[in-house]
Structure 1
Amino acid sequence: MIDNSKLESLKKLLNDAECISIVTHPNPDGDAVGSSVGMCQILKNLGKEVYAIVPNSFPDFLAWMEEADKFLNFEKNPQEVINALGKSNLIICLDFNSLSRLNGMGEVVKEALAPKVLIDHHLYPEDDFILQFSELWVSSTCELVYHIAKGLDLLPMLSIGAAEALYAGIMTDTGSFSYSSSNPATFHVVADLLEMNIDKDKVHQVVYNTFSEERMRLMGYCLNEKMVVFREHKTAFIALTIKELNRFKHRSGDTEGLVNLPLSIKDVNFSVLFTEQTDGYVKLSLRSKGDFSVNEFSRKYFYGGGHKNAAGGRIQMKLPEVIKYFEICVRENADKIVKSI
């Protein structure tokens, strides 16, 4: 479980700080937003002045979370974020393991004078932080925030709305408990959250059943027109250009979950979604079954990382070139992919 000496160190940092900024990664997902909401509400109920900061916008299906509308957005108003960080006595970094993951906002956070605390569940954290809670045994950062709050006797500071945000993060980061959720502790946390009277059915509804018509048509287009399967390598990928995304009126979050679709095919062990970005990069989402580590694959070839079966990456290259490069990488790892389950 969590080191008590670290909890005591965090307690002192919290006691000494009057103003705290909470920072999470670009393209925030359910775990990033949920853990930020949970931590933010706990600290506000302790009487702290708190700023929740995101590098860019998060999907509409997460906007229901408590006070999510008050998040500061670096992409939209960088000066507001710079001012908040400058005012803060403590910066808590959630759901990422290196300030370099923050892209353009990373240098701003790094230059802020306040001590920085990491709360995360990814491999290989970097030495950017005065205190690290890097726990690989948890399902999600939301689960880790719950354990930390419990260890500090701060669960009474958790509102029902914030508890629902934590549940949403656990639910989304485990694919509705289909992976990264074999530790009984995860379900003990969920049981505790249910005891707080969260509405889990409502959370599932607003996260998974409120997509736009265009998003559903994009999903159909991906499966019918864009999915490529390498049967001999048990690998599949979907690649989307900016033009294709615009055709379906793409909004933040519309590609969420698309990478998982090819894994429903019986003989596909590895799936990748490529999305062309306006800044000249191609973003990758990677998923796998069994023992094939997409974290290692992404770190080796695509400047990314994450978890064993779920990772991300970015590379500055034209999309057709990325696909050719990917095919070479797949051939180099074909034996591992094919034998992963």
Structure 2
Amino acid sequence: MILKGFEALQQFLEKPRNIVVVGHRNPDGDAMGSTLALKHYLDKKGHKATVVVPNEYPEFLHWLPGSETTYRFDWQNTQSQKAIKTSDIIFLSDFNALHRVGSDMQNTLENYPNDFAMIDHHQQPDDVTYMYSDVNICSTCQMVYQFIEMNHDLDLINKEIATCLYTGIMTDTGSFRFRSTTSKTHRIIADLIDRGAENDKIHNKVYDTNSYNRLLLLGQALSNLQILPSYKTAYITLTDAEKKRFDFQKGDTEGVVNYALSLKGIIFAAIFIEDKEQGIIKISFRSKGSFSVNKFARTYFNGGGHDNAAGGKSDLEMAKTVTKFTSLLPEYQKDLEISYEN
């Protein structure tokens, strides 16, 4: 764990401040849950907090308390820039480096004259003035809970904050099934339920509100599934044309890679998603056991994340990206064989 400048941050926040809370590009449940929970908490402490995210996030997260006040930097640029320029400090939530917000917003943040405070659980964080970083914690939302606890403010957690935090912990732990889910995580979840988080309703809003086209897209993805048993690996591809055929909406591919990892005997899974707008292939990696997809993504696909869940990208076309991926597997055959006992 890295805890840098915590007491100084506490002193800084003793007076009311204008604060911006930023999440990463393509925000997921943990990013939106943690940024909105921080906003509600800071507001209750007497500050004026605004959430700014780089771009749109999935519709199944729009119901989160406070979502309607969130600015999207890409199409609410004037409001976002004003909030940033008039802020006294910026909290960076659920990401470890400024490039994770995309080049346009990155340029703005790099020119920001005041301090950053980072709360994040990803590896190799950038150095900022105030930092709470712990790669062993399952989600940034759990870290926000512990940040509030360190400030002796658990009594300030109301239903809205509890709902946001529960959502982020639930989504980043795969509904509490990943190895990073600890007994402490479950104790925190129990406390959040006691403070108003309605676990059944939250799960329904996130996972059980599929559109017809989203299910058809899932069917297409599963029909594209390829298995490489010699390497205990499976991967899925989705082209831009396939996405358009099923009226792709942001968030529609969330969690699809886990279907590949769920196959018996599979240790390493990937999904390759064509993004013509950015001119890249977006990649999500998942693994079981000791095989680090974080190291794999950092080494070969300009990405990173956690040991068992990471992302990356490729500037090559789909076929060449897949060829590059499969050509690397023989080098890791022994690692994959011993990674996890089935």
TM-score bracket for the superposition, by shorter chain length: over 0.9
Q: What's the CA shift for 1:283?
A: 0.7
1:28: Cα distance to partner? 0.5
Distance in 1, matches of 2:260 and 2:56, equals 27
Q: CA contact under 8 A between 1:7 and 1:152: conserved in structure 2?
A: no
Question: 1:304 touches 1:311 (CA, 8 Å); kept in 2?
Answer: yes
What CA distance in whole angstroms lies between the structure 1 residues aligned with 2:161 and 2:214? 28
Amino acid at match of 1:21: V
Kept in 2, the 8 Å contact 1:294–1:307? The answer is yes
Counterpart Cα distance in 1 of 2:172 and 2:58: 15
- Corresponding position of 2:79: 80
The reply to whether residue 121 of structure 1 matches residue 121 of structure 2 is yes
Using structure 2 for the length normalisation, give the TM-score.
Answer: 0.95
Instruction: Give the match for residue 206 of structure 2.
Output: 207
1:17 Cα deviation after fit: 5.4
| Counterpart pick for 2:236 among 238, 249, 269 | 238
Q: Does structure 1 conserve the Cα–Cα contact (< 8 Å) formed by 2:157 and 2:195?
A: no
Give the superposition deviation at 1:230. 0.8
Whether the 8 Å CA contact 2:21–2:52 is kept in 1: the answer is: yes
Question: Are 2:41 and 1:42 aligned?
Answer: yes
- Single out whichever of 181-190 and 143-152 deviates more from structure 2: 181-190
Superposed displacement of residue 157, structure 1: 2.7
Which residue number corresponds to residue 261 of structure 1? Answer: 259
Quote how far apart the aligned CAs of 1:137 are.
2.4
What are the Cα deviations for residues 250-308 of structure 1, in whole angstroms up to 9, with x where unaligned? Answer: 00100001000011111111110111112211111100011110000000001111111
Q: 1:156 Cα deviation (Å)? A: 2.8
Determine if contact 1:27/1:57 at 8 Å carries over to the other structure.
yes
1:120–1:135: 8 Å Cα contact kept in structure 2?
A: yes
Name the CA distance, whole Å, in 1 between partners of 2:91 and 2:313: 25
Which residue identity does 2:26 align to in structure 1?
N
Tell me whether 244-253 or 97-106 shows the greater mean CA deviation: 97-106
The alpha-carbon deviation at position 182 of structure 1 amounts to: 4.1
Stretch moving more, 130-139 or 328-337: 328-337
- Report the Cα distance in structure 2 between the residues aligned to 1:11 and 1:233, rounded to whole angstroms: 50
1:186-218 superposed Cα distances (whole Å, 9 cap, x missing partner) = 111111112213211100110110011111111
Q: How far apart, in 2, do the equivalents of 1:103 and 1:164 lie? A: 28
Q: How does 1:78-157 map to 2 (within 5 A)?
A: 78-104=77-103, 105-127=105-127, 129-157=128-156
Tell me the CA shift for residue 7 of structure 1: 3.3
Q: Percent identity?
A: 37
Q: Deviations over 1:148-169 (max 9, x none)?
A: 1011122233220221110010
Secondary structure, counterpart of 1:88 in structure 2: coil
Q: Structure 1 residue 271 and structure 2 residue 283: aligned? A: no
Gap runs ≥5 in structure 1? none
Alpha-carbon distance, 1:316 to partner: 1.6
Q: Is the 8 A contact 2:163 2:196 kept in 1?
A: no
Q: Is the 8 A contact 1:25 1:95 kept in 2?
A: yes
Matched position secondary structure for 2:114: coil
Maintained 8 Å contact 2:158/2:196: no
Where 2:324 maps in the other structure, the secondary structure is helix
Cross-structure match for 1:298: 297
Matching residue's letter, 1:133: Y
CA offsets 1:223-252 (integer angstroms, 9 cap, x no match) = 12x101111111111111111111110001
Structure 2 segments unaligned to the other structure (5+ residues): none
Within 2, Cα distance between the matches of 1:111 and 1:204?
39
Q: Which moved more, 1:215-224 or 1:59-68?
A: 215-224
Partner in structure 2 of residue 71 of structure 1: 70
Partner SS for 1:15: coil
The 3-state SS of whatever aligns with 1:250 is coil
Closer/same/farther in 2, CA of residues 58 and 202 from structure 1, 3 Å limit: same
Name the aligned partner's letter for residue 112 of structure 2: A
Cα shift at 1:6: 4.1
Match of 1:24 in 2: 23
Q: Distance in 2 between matches of 1:86 and 1:273?
A: 38
Counterpart contact for 2:122–2:134, Cα < 8 Å: yes
Q: In the TM superposition, what whole-angstrom CA distance separates every residue of 1:61-112 from its partner, at most 9, and x where no partner exists? A: 1111001121110111223212111100000000010001111211211211
**Contact preservation (8 Å) 2:98, 2:109:** yes
Determine if contact 2:272/2:282 at 8 Å carries over to the other structure: yes
